[in-house]
Structure 1
Amino acid sequence: MELTDIKQVYFIGVGGIGMSAVARYFNSQGLKVTGYDKTETPLTRALEAEGIAIHYGAANVSLVPDASDDLLVVWTPAIPTDFAELVKVQAGNYNLYKRAQVLGLLSRGMDCVGIAGTHGKTTTTTITTHLMMTAGLQPHAFLGGIPRDFDGNYVHGNSNWVVVEADEYDRSFLNLDPAIAVILSADPDHLDIYGDHDNMLETGFRAYARRVKEGGSLIVRYDIAHHFSPPPPKGGARLTPPLGGEGLYTFGIGAGDFCAHNVRVEDGAFHFDLKEPDGHLITNIRTALPGRHNVENAVAACAVTRLAGGSEDALKAGLSAFRGIARRFETVLKTNKIVIIDDYAHHPTELEAAITAARELYPDQTIRGVFQPHLFSRTQDFAQGFAKALDLLDEAILIPIYPARELPIEGVTSRLIFGKMRSTNKRLLDDEQMLAATAELTDGVLLLLGAGNIDALVPKIVAEHQNTLTNG
């Protein structure tokens, strides 16, 4: 299909964070948008308030619109293959696309910024969108989280720029044709799809890099740039900011074409100076985001914005004002005794980053964490890495694995990680036991970690502590 052919869209799984952003885009264009989801959530209620009709619970094939040339049906792989509505559409003469294919349609008709990486995508995509907006570039954006600086996970722009998360799962990012592509990280992940890390690099990230449009730019963290071609030249400027440039650029802290120097914490926020490829230095950039990993994410977002034509004043103003994203090191309760932080971390590197950031911000506090592993396959592949990261906590609580789309794997439970941990200050609890244990905490920092439904437990934990404060 061409975008201009579409007059109505039906979503199977409309309430997902990525699917709902695409639904909002089509709804903003004046198309008729309807859909299905399993359960009602705050996100689906927001979609309904915007005029999108949604039905819930069991499949109802009578509510699927009749096939027509102007109807697009969008589905998510999170939907079971035997789901009756999906079966009907697959058997009929429907225009059926995955969400990633729809983003591909959009990227081909616009100047696409695709931000890839095994971690950091949502944060960097959102920072980039905020900086480009501050710079007056007015991009559309499809975000994988709920930002505090925008009304929702779809940002309605007014230009030919579109910013998207380039997801490596199921090789989804190979549907994109970016004008500017970013690769933040390429650690082993989704080995159920790729088999091994080498194949993930070749058929995933390198294949994605090869999709950059002619004359476009590829921005890669400096320590993984050797995986990509052409190799970055040594020395010599390749752009005159803010006029843009093309080719491969690197970024990082202490190294890279776009390089953060003099990183320091002042008044509870990170500050750094940014050196650009031609040697130009932008001094004293401030970000309230926690952790050195977020300084790296910010540098990548600055690189995109400069290549797209943003001014250095826009970088400094936009980054200083950026307020963050729900479930990305989000402080959900802070008193003079206890701090509770909610974070989406679901890979060993992300766990380590979150725990390290907490240590940097609260060096004199006891750091405790609750971790809900996400997927049986990921737990099996990275049990040792999870154990090593959780050993950085003063106390760790593991709760059962969130299976998402997967069936159980024999012998793979949270106990697999638990048994590999060296720390003796650890507990293996179910959800209710965890709620009781966290209610007894009176001080320190509590990290709530995971990409599953642990976020549904966060309000209960916070409410318990608020009741304690109220009732003494």
Structure 2
Amino acid sequence: MELNNIKRVYLVGIGGIGMSGLARYFHHLGCVVCGYDKTHTPLTEALHNEGICIVYEDVADSIPMSFQTPDEATLVIYTPAIPKDSAILNYFRNNGFDLYKRSQVLGIISKSMFTIAVAGTHGKTTTSGMIAHILKDSGNDCSAFLGGISSNYQTNVLYGSNNIVVVEADEYDRSFLTLYPDIAIITSMDADHLDIYGDHSKLEESFRLFASQIKQGGTLICHKGLPLDKGFTYAMNEQAQAMATNVRIEDGSFFFDFTDGKVSIPNIRMGIAGLHNIENATAAIEAALHVEVDPNAIREALGSFKGIKRRFEYIIKTPQTVFIDDYAHHPEELRAAISSVKRLYPDKKLTVIFQPHLFTRTRDFADGFAEVLDMADETILLDIYPARELPIEGVNSEMILSRMKMLNKQKCGKQQCIDMVRIEKPELLLTVGAGDIDAMVQPLKNALENV
């Protein structure tokens, strides 16, 4: 595929965070961009307002005439999350079109660029967002494809004037194996996506393959303790090649010092909260130093980094009420979010609302979810968000609830949950999950504020 020849792009599953980034990228290049998604969301609405045509009915007749005949100027991209019986997907498959996964297209775009790729079962979106912001804010510039909406730039794709691109490297469906980075970061390799990999060892093997694809003379930056046989290690409050030390909270902000044996950056104030984000920042700093960003500019950029939407995002922050929303959907992500909230607000009663994501993930990690949710003072569970899966008999939110030891726990529907929050007015509320729980954020905010 020659990118320079592309004039028309159709995306099957355009509303996904990664797919929407590609839609914006090709639209920016001047291509005609259209796509299908099954649901209206704020993101599809934003794409529509930017001039991108989106249909919500999965019928072949909805495909525009200009996309109905294959040619070298037409590119069709699809996401593996689209059902195999999709009428639109099968029209393209059955009529001679070459179909590309999102990850393949990302691989082609980044092939000719200096690529910084961030991988990991968690931490990759915030870390890639940090690196992109450091490069932009310091005047070094970059392009970026992020797995979330940057709060600094209000988009998930950034356009740069140089040859550097920052990409989030997704391990789902082994997508990241289309990338050949100059700098690769691996933040974590916890068991996840076992519906794809089967077991943890296969997931680890895939990460090692990704690490082996770094270009000659390139650099691997990895969290200390990961089962990798090479790489420049980083850690917080323990010995590694790059370290975050003297971690502290002052006036509600996290501070730390950085050193990697060559460069020291003292007294870094984080623009976002969370101990896990100090670890992410340590990796981001090391990547920025490898492309020769000035250490003082790095410190300034981290102070002005506003984070990624739904990554430890403050919805309400007053002396009376704190409401934080987070994308966490794996036990270790929940542990990081809950631990950080409790450390920031040790004297407030913590209420957690959690929507499990995927039947397989709930089945595989029910014990882990139960253990971590027991760290809260009160837990409300919603039904499992199925995403791409069909139900599995016996797998439901009660699997987690029944394993929890705390007494102040319950499962309820979304509206019941909102009504409960309106009545009880929890002083410290954390919503977590990767499904459609984000649609509850505004109603919950209204409930807390008596709107």
TM-score by length of 2: 0.97
1:147 aligns with 2:150: yes
What does residue range 254-293 of structure 1 map to in structure 2 within 5 Å? 254=237, 255-278=239-262, 280-293=263-276
Alpha-carbon deviation of 1:62? 4.9
Distance (Å, rounded) in 2 between the aligned partners of 1:58 and 1:451: 24
1:300 aligns with 2:283: yes
Q: Contact between 1:137 and 1:161, CA under 8 Å: does it hold in 2?
A: no
* SS of 1:324 mapped into structure 2: coil
Alpha-carbon deviation of 1:91? 1.4
Q: For structure 1, which segment, 180-189 or 324-333, has the greater mean C-alpha deviation from structure 2 after superposition?
A: 324-333
Q: Provide the aligned length of Structure 1 versus Structure 2.
A: 447
Letter in 2 for 1:42: P
2:217 maps to which of 209, 215, 220: 215
1:157 is matched with 160
Q: For structure 1, which segment, 324-333 or 403-412, has the greater mean C-alpha deviation from structure 2 after superposition?
A: 324-333
1:437 is matched with 420
Q: For structure 1, which segment, 56-65 or 174-183, has the greater mean C-alpha deviation from structure 2 after superposition?
A: 56-65
Distance (Å, rounded) in 2 between the aligned partners of 1:252 and 1:208: 21
Q: For structure 1, which segment, 352-361 or 36-45, has the greater mean C-alpha deviation from structure 2 after superposition?
A: 36-45
1:383 is matched with 366
Alpha-carbon deviation of 1:285? 1.0
2:2 is matched with 2
What does residue range 320-359 of structure 1 map to in structure 2 within 5 Å? 320-359=303-342
Distance (Å, rounded) in 2 between the aligned partners of 1:442 and 1:453: 22
Alpha-carbon deviation of 1:206? 0.3
Alpha-carbon deviation of 1:406? 0.2
Distance (Å, rounded) in 1 between the aligned partners of 2:44 and 2:372: 35
1:454 aligns with 2:437: yes
1:419 aligns with 2:402: yes
Q: Contact between 1:9 and 1:73, CA under 8 Å: does it hold in 2?
A: yes
Distance (Å, rounded) in 1 between the aligned partners of 2:426 and 2:91: 54
1:365 aligns with 2:367: no
Letter in 1 for 2:56: Y
Alpha-carbon deviation of 1:347? 0.3
Distance (Å, rounded) in 2 between the aligned partners of 1:201 and 1:330: 30
Report the identity percentage.
48
Alpha-carbon deviation of 1:60? 3.4
Structure 1 outlier segments of 4+, above 6 Å: none
1:173 aligns with 2:179: no
Q: Contact between 2:58 and 2:88, CA under 8 Å: does it hold in 1?
A: no
Q: For structure 1, which segment, 281-290 or 432-441, has the greater mean C-alpha deviation from structure 2 after superposition?
A: 432-441
Distance (Å, rounded) in 2 between the aligned partners of 1:376 and 1:296: 30
Q: For structure 1, which segment, 375-384 or 417-426, has the greater mean C-alpha deviation from structure 2 after superposition?
A: 417-426
Distance (Å, rounded) in 2 between the aligned partners of 1:454 and 1:124: 23
Q: Contact between 1:346 and 1:451, CA under 8 Å: does it hold in 2?
A: yes
CA gap of 1:332–1:193, structure 2 versus 1, over 3 A, is: same
* SS of 2:181 mapped into structure 1: coil
Alpha-carbon deviation of 1:425? 1.4
Q: Contact between 2:15 and 2:43, CA under 8 Å: does it hold in 1?
A: yes
2:197 is matched with 194
* SS of 1:144 mapped into structure 2: strand
Q: Contact between 1:337 and 1:443, CA under 8 Å: does it hold in 2?
A: no
The one-character-per-residue Cα deviations of 1:107-140 (angstroms, maximum 9, x if unpaired) are 2111111100111111111111001112322111
* SS of 2:149 mapped into structure 1: coil
Q: Contact between 1:337 and 1:442, CA under 8 Å: does it hold in 2?
A: no
Q: Contact between 1:331 and 1:342, CA under 8 Å: does it hold in 2?
A: yes
Letter in 2 for 1:261: T
1:78 aligns with 2:81: yes
The one-character-per-residue Cα deviations of 1:202-238 (angstroms, maximum 9, x if unpaired) are 1x100110110101000000121xx2233xxxxxxxx
1:234 is matched with none
What does residue range 73-152 of structure 1 map to in structure 2 within 5 Å? 73-152=76-155
Task: Name the Cα RMSD after superposition.
Answer: 1.3
Q: For structure 1, which segment, 426-435 or 393-402, has the greater mean C-alpha deviation from structure 2 after superposition?
A: 426-435
Q: For structure 1, which segment, 86-95 or 380-389, has the greater mean C-alpha deviation from structure 2 after superposition?
A: 86-95
Distance (Å, rounded) in 1 between the aligned partners of 2:323 and 2:124: 23
1:239 is matched with none
Distance (Å, rounded) in 1 between the aligned partners of 2:265 and 2:418: 46
CA gap of 1:48–1:109, structure 2 versus 1, over 3 A, is: same
Distance (Å, rounded) in 1 between the aligned partners of 2:442 and 2:91: 38
The one-character-per-residue Cα deviations of 1:339-365 (angstroms, maximum 9, x if unpaired) are 111111100001111111111111110
The one-character-per-residue Cα deviations of 1:310-351 (angstroms, maximum 9, x if unpaired) are 110111110011111211111112333221111111000011
Q: For structure 1, which segment, 184-193 or 325-334, has the greater mean C-alpha deviation from structure 2 after superposition?
A: 325-334
Segments of 5+ residues of structure 1 without an aligned counterpart are 231-247
Letter in 1 for 2:444: I
Segments of 5+ residues of structure 2 without an aligned counterpart are none
The one-character-per-residue Cα deviations of 1:59-86 (angstroms, maximum 9, x if unpaired) are 2345250211121101112211111110
